[in-house]
Amino acid sequence: MTFFAAAIQMAAASDKAANLDRAERLVRLAAARGANLVALPEMFNWRGKRAEEAAAAETIDGESISRMARLARELQLHLVAGSIAERVPGQTRNYNTSVLLGPNGSRLAVYRKIHLFDIDLPGRVTARESDVKIPGTEVVAATTPLGTIGLSICYDLRFPELYRRLVFAGAQIVTLPSAFTFPTGEAHWEALIRARAIENQVYMIAPAQFGPNPHGFSDYGNSMIVDPWGRVLARAADQEAVVIAPIDLEYQERVRRELPALSHARLHTDRV
């Protein structure tokens, strides 16, 4: 089975209406180019000052996911609605939540980011995602007509045990909506995506934010799609973009059959 997937690159800011209009335009462009699976970047609907995040947060039934669900239904495609700040009743912090939508607009999977990005690179980047976010706890993969799709978000990329658990859950494709900082992205983004693809023999679809962001540093961009052999099939330049590549599950089966490393795995973990 072969179909086409798209990774969308954009630069979201604090105007939610403008972000949603831009996301819709880019999803429509991906569909017009033949994509059956489209993925938006992390926090595609709103990026602003952390002090303003509580007011911008939504429930999964809110405006952003509802609009993307209608779009998926209209265009008859699978859509990974990047991630949003999901409001949590009774909490001052939110989840960073990615939602997989089906061609009928239904929610096929909901993943809440497990690994939160807290880092201090003196003079370059200081970020504490845990100040405004709660970590999720569940590994999420969903069986769809396109194959089994595993969900992850940005900083999760540095934790290979998550991806091994996803592949043990049947994942053939893993999505990675991201907003990778420029210094860490320039050093590690491609290397880590290719590593996760190679060691788990999965397709990695990694849509990303690019350019200066509201937090005072820049995002790396370089949205990409990587195959199970570790080849970069598509990569975005430093601009708003839609990149598309074929997902060939028969090729993936051949890779896994000819190099059966997954069946040779001896060490398993049950701990998130």
Active-site residues: which are they?
42, 113, 154
Place of tokens 């949603």: 20
| Residue 191: C-alpha distances to residues 184, 194, 220, 259, 263 (Å) | 11, 5, 14, 21, 24
Is residue 16 within 8 A of residue 64, CB to CB? The reply is yes
Burial 124-133 (b: 16+ CB within 10 A, else e): ebebebeebb
Beta strand ranges found along 130-266 (DSSP E): 141-144, 147-151, 173-175, 203-206, 210-212, 218-220, 224-226, 232-235, 241-248
Q: How far apart are CA 236 and CA 239, in angstroms?
A: 7
Is residue 141 within 8 A of residue 148, CB to CB? The reply is yes
Structure tokens at 246: 């074929």
